[in-house]
Structure 1
Amino acid sequence: MGTIDLHTHTTASDGILSPEELVELAAVRGIEVLGITDHDTVAGLPAAQSAAAHRSVKIVPGIELSTAVETGEVHILGYFIDPADPVLQAHLASLATARRERAQRMVDRLRQLGIPVTMEDLEAIAQGGTITRAHAARLLVARGFAGSIDEAFERFLGRNRPAYVPRTYPSPRRAVEIVLAAGGAPVLAHPLSAGDPETILGELVPVGLVGLEAWYAEYAPEIQRELVALAARWGLIPTGGSDYHGPGFRAERELGSVDVPRQSVDMLAARARSGRGGAATLPEQ
């Protein structure tokens, strides 16, 4: 069990635990550095930071930005961001509106398939957080229309499935620029989801990408080693995290299930600090 986990989600997006509950679990499991990286929102950061102030857990303020690509899935993690940055806030406000419109279209498609769900049902699952496909998947499982989160995606919500609704997101390049504008260190999340990582890196490294998520919980050790080597070839910081969404979400993504070296955190902080005149540090608690 590692003591650093840089990729987690709370009820502010599609996680199952509140920020306070996640911090409490991290403390119980001996996590010393916890990255809060909710999808397209920073709403969970204040509560997580407040909870961590009373425990031996240091919070890395982060975000996971969704992007639009032809194939695969490219997400950009931002570490040591300034949550109040106006460029970031403007992007998130626009995205929140687009996400809600997408959620309504998803509900409409599910109802056309004979599945009686409503926006109110989705909102109840989301508990005030950003509505995502994961919430729809949990709703389908709860109503007995799917046996698991994976089945819900495979049958209804995945790309080219009957309830899938295309997303309105920025390009990966723009996501990197948004993280940089917020004073953060941009990192390519779960790079194998991107299709050909080399192609994506060729596009994003020149515009400021600084890291690659090599120690990802769902990747086998040999794949993780290959990604560490890939990061080295491109001069990137190897990072890692569980992508933990809460108990019962996906067994492979258990909190603290990867072993991330402290050097990675220090290098991310240094890169963010160099971009904002010396402000990025882990808080003393």
Structure 2
Amino acid sequence: MNRYWSGFDLHSHSTCSDGKLTPSELVALAAKQGVHTLALTDHDTVSGIEEAQKAALVEGINLIAGVEISTTWSKQNIHIVGLNLDIHQPDLLEGLAIQQHSRLQRAQLIAERLSGLGVEQLFEKAAQQANGGEIGRPHFAAVLVAEGLVDHPQEAFKKYLGAGKKGDVKSFWPEIEQAVQWIHAAGGQAVLAHPLHYKMTNMKRRALLKAFKTCGGDAMEVVSGMQSHDQTHYMAQLAKEYDLKASSGSDFHFVTQWQLPGKFSALPETVAPVWLDWQEH
């Protein structure tokens, strides 16, 4: 076994949301990287799951049906990953339909807020970047790069799309409890995504974990992409403190030097992996 990870990558994205690879391409790359169990967790949609499942059969790996649901807590955008879902469950599908409608409204509002930049047909160009998937801020960032307004996507977020900037729209998302209910209705496990990514104090992070647990949350991402040993140790401590199972994933969107399926450190032995529940049934 690779000393950095377990073979489970439980957070990844395809062209069905803001990833750069199709579900089939993502599965093929994951298999090449040695991943044996991959969760496809596109933002607010399960539209890529069936394609990914077919590709996983060809590649000889396990595909976990997942999703990453956007929510609001304490005026911040918080992501909840659902794992091991029945993607045909009516409550889940109804909830994701609401999310997709909210995403469309949000994208239209982002385009409206950024209209002063002088990009003609900004919304339409972002939709072209999404190529039939859900329109998100990365697609607007790609347009701003293509139009020469910024040099790279990171600059687009820093100037226009990041937290607190003109193109940062959060107001359409449900509360955490609602997302957890949709996930549980579909027989899945609710996982707090990348707790270290949120700009908040450690005290507020603890309040978030307490609220998530109170809402019925099952697990948290102890490892999310490349992070330090100290960060992993801290996340493991919090998982134990709030009695949450541990998940790990690359949060893969596209190939970079630092981002590949399966490229992240292993879970500490002190935590209980979320996948143990699946293996027991």
Q: TM-score, normalised by structure 1?
A: 0.88
Matched, 1:241 2:253: no
Give the aligned partner of residue 168 of structure 2.
Answer: 164
| CA shift for structure 1 position 106 | 1.4
Amino acid in structure 1 at the alignment position of 2:56: A
| CA shift for structure 1 position 260 | 4.4
Give the aligned partner of residue 102 of structure 2.
Answer: 98
Question: After the TM superposition, which residues 229-268 of structure 1 pair with which residues of structure 2 at under 5 Å, given as runs?
Answer: 229-248=237-256, 251-260=257-266, 264-268=273-277
Which deviates more, 66-75 or 23-32? 66-75
| CA shift for structure 1 position 180 | 0.9
| CA shift for structure 1 position 268 | 4.4
| CA shift for structure 1 position 142 | 2.4
Distance 2:154 2:277 in 1: 32
Match of 1:150 among 149, 154, 160: 154
Q: Secondary structure at the match of 1:239?
A: strand
Change in Cα spacing, 1:62 to 1:217, as seen in structure 2 (3 Å) is same
| CA shift for structure 1 position 111 | 2.2
Which deviates more, 48-57 or 165-174? 165-174
Amino acid in structure 1 at the alignment position of 2:87: P
| CA shift for structure 1 position 12 | 0.6
1:5-53 Cα offsets, whole Å, 9 max, x none, are 1110001111000000001111111111111110000001000000011
Give the aligned partner of residue 179 of structure 1.
Answer: 183
8 Å CA contact retained: 1:73, 1:193: no
Question: After the TM superposition, which residues 60-209 of structure 1 pair with which residues of structure 2 at under 5 Å, given as runs?
Answer: 60-194=64-198, 195=200, 196-209=204-217
Matched, 1:39 2:26: no
Distance 1:211 1:35 in 2: 15
RMSD over equivalenced CA pairs, Å: 2.0
Change in Cα spacing, 1:148 to 1:61, as seen in structure 2 (3 Å) is same
Give the aligned partner of residue 281 of structure 1.
Answer: none
Distance 1:218 1:190 in 2: 11
Amino acid in structure 2 at the alignment position of 1:216: S
Distance 1:224 1:148 in 2: 29
Give the aligned partner of residue 269 of structure 1.
Answer: 278
8 Å CA contact retained: 1:83, 1:182: yes
Amino acid in structure 2 at the alignment position of 1:208: G
Amino acid in structure 1 at the alignment position of 2:260: E
Gaps of 5+ in 1: 279-285
Change in Cα spacing, 1:237 to 1:166, as seen in structure 2 (3 Å) is closer
Q: TM-score, normalised by structure 2?
A: 0.89
8 Å CA contact retained: 1:4, 1:259: no
8 Å CA contact retained: 1:186, 1:210: yes
Match of 1:28 among 18, 26, 32: 32
